[in-house]
């Protein structure tokens, strides 16, 4: 049973060496009378929030830190290969919280859901049909209060969340611009994901000028994934009564000294609404979300881009690659075939 452990708490940018690949034996079957589940992990998800779990515990974090020397835990897709729990049977496919290892014993299955639609690629349950999908759905539809015809700007737009936000906004009839960190990603946004326009923020000397070029009349909605200098430039370009949904601030996660935001006057002058949100608060919307998104997938109304690496050994590098933009689309690790 190959497994990935956190070596020690991380400060600053994470590296592959902050995690260790080891192996341990796993029972082929659970002992009699045991109420746990034995899972064979098929896909593991790399998500930016996992970085905060690699830091020393802080009181303000809404997710507990990993223990150094323990297996990394995150979202994944798994198959039940033994079950002492009457709600799950051998062969069931599940998605939810599992270990970064080939096989996981789950004592209590609260973090797991049975997969309802198995004719869709199973990896989708780490992204479009899982946590990032619900984040995009809730963040755009519920937090941004969008209206047809409005102008929408999405940062980290080609990623797991951003690509869906942009497409939800297009489906509503908004004008949508995304930014991303390479020409390949900008082309993807414009040519495959249906964004009206896109730019490479790494090549823009002046972010304020780039936003003025894309939004001569201003931005109604900003879906914030990155923070820092981008947020400061966006504040100057928001329209009166604009809304900003703060989903993530990835440019700040690895900085020991966070960047300041200076254009705060714009919040008052433009009467902006800025609201942070976290997906775990909105889990009750998952059934509604699932039916909506399954419909969109079947009708070809959304496109979904994944970046799948093969082999659990590659998981640490894939995870840290999120912070340098190595991933093109949702970063997934294929551990085993069904
Ligand atoms: P992505 O698939 O978008 O991967 C992360 C991307 O962020 C990278 O590919 C990179 O793209 C970009 N990035 C990395 N570092 C920087 C930087 N310094 N400045 C600008 N962009 C950077 O990840 P997700 O879609 O899963 O997550 C997007 C955001 O949403 C994150 O901030 C995450 O924390 C947040 N999130 C929040 C949730 C919530 O409940 N509130 C739930 C899920 C995610 P590029 O090449 O474009 O730079």
- Please tell me whether residues 141 and 272 are part of one structural domain: yes
Number of domains in the chain: 2
Summarize the confidence of residues 232-258 as an average pLDDT.
Answer: 98
Pairing of strands 93-99, 37-45: unpaired
In a domain, 290, yes or no: no
Residue nearest to atom 3 of ligand 1 (CA): 159
Number of residues written out for the chain: 338
Cα–Cα distance, 207 to 204 (Å, whole number): 6
In a domain, 295, yes or no: no
**Phi (first) and psi of residue 264, to 5 degrees:** -65, -25
For 335, the 3-state DSSP assignment is coil
Measured in whole angstroms, the distance separating CA 32 from the mean position of its chain's CA atoms is 38
ipTM of the shown complex: 0.99
**Phi (first) and psi of residue 200, to 5 degrees:** -95, 105
In a domain, 148, yes or no: yes
Provide CB contacts within 8 A for 60, sequence distance 6+.
none
In a domain, 147, yes or no: yes
Local confidence band at 63 (pLDDT 50, 70, 90 cut-offs): confident
Indicate which atom in ligand 1 lies nearest the CA of residue 326. 9
Give the mean pLDDT of the chain: 97
Residue nearest to atom 14 of ligand 1 (CA): 323
pLDDT in tens, 253-272: 999 999 999 999 999 999 99
pLDDT in tens, 169-215: 999 999 999 999 999 999 999 999 999 999 999 999 999 999 999 99
Provide CB contacts within 8 A for 53, sequence distance 6+.
63, 64, 65, 66, 73
Helix residue ranges per DSSP H, 240-314: 265-269, 286-298
CATH number of residue 244's parent domain? 3.40.50.720
Summarize the confidence of residues 19-47 as an average pLDDT.
Answer: 93
**Phi (first) and psi of residue 289, to 5 degrees:** -60, -45
Say how many Å lie between the CA of residue 181 and the centre of ligand 1.
11
Burial tier of 209 (Cβ tally within 10 Å: 0-12, 13-18, 19+): exposed
């Amino acid at each position: 049973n190959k497994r990935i452990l956190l070596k020690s708490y991380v400060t600053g940018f994470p590296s592959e060496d902050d995690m260790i690949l080891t192996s341990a034996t796993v029972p082929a079957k659970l002992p009699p009378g045991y109420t746990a589940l034995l899972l064979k992990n098929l896909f593991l998800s790399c998500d930016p929030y996992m970085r905060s779990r690699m830091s020393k515990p802080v009181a303000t974090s809404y997710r507990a830190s990993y223990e150094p020397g323990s297996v990394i835990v995150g979202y994944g897709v798994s198959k039940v290969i033994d079950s002492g729990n009457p709600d799950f049977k051998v062969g069931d496919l599940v998605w939810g919280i599992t270990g970064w290892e080939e096989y996981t014993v789950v004592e209590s299955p609260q973090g797991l859901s049975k997969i309802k639609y198995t004719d869709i690629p199973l990896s989708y349950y780490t992204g479009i049909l899982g946590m990032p999908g619900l984040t995009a759905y809730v963040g755009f539809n519920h937090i941004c209060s969008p209206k047809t015809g409005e102008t929408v700007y999405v940062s980290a737009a080609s990623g797991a969340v951003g690509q869906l936000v942009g497409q939800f906004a297009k489906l509503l009839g908004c004008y949508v611009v995304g930014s991303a960190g390479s020409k390949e990603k900008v082309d993807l946004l414009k040519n495959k994901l249906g964004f009206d326009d896109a730019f490479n923020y790494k090549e823009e000397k002046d972010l304020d000028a780039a936003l003025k070029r894309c939004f001569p009349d201003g931005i109604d909605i900003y879906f914030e994934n990155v923070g820092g200098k981008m947020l400061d430039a966006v504040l100057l370009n928001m329209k009166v009564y604009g809304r900003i949904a703060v989903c993530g601030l990835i440019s700040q996660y690895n900085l020991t000294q966070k960047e300041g935001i200076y254009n705060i006057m714009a919040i008052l002058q433009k009467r902006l609404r800025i609201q942070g949100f976290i997906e775990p608060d909105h889990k009750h919307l998952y059934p509604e979300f699932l039916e909506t998104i399954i419909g969109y997938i079947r009708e070809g109304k959304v496109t979904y881009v994944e970046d799948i690496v093969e082999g659990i050994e590659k998981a640490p590098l894939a995870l840290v690659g999120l912070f340098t933009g190595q991933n093109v689309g949702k970063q997934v690790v294929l551990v085993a075939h069904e």
